[in-house]
Amino acid sequence: MCMQCGYIYRQELGDPDGGIPPGTPWEDIPEDWKCPECGAGKYDFDVVEM
Q: Which residues bind other proteins (CB under 8 A)?
A: 1, 3-6, 8, 16-17, 36-40, 44, 48-50
CB atoms within 10 A of CB 2: 21
CA distance 41 to 32: 7
Are 47 and 8 in contact, with CB atoms under 8 Å apart? no
Closest contact distance (angstroms) between CB of 9 and other proteins is 12
Query: Looking at beta carbons only, is 19 or 48 nearer to other proteins?
Result: 48
Query: Looking at beta carbons only, is 22 or 30 nearer to other proteins?
Result: 22
Closest contact distance (angstroms) between CB of 31 and other proteins is 18
| Residue 17: alpha-carbon gap to chain centroid | 12
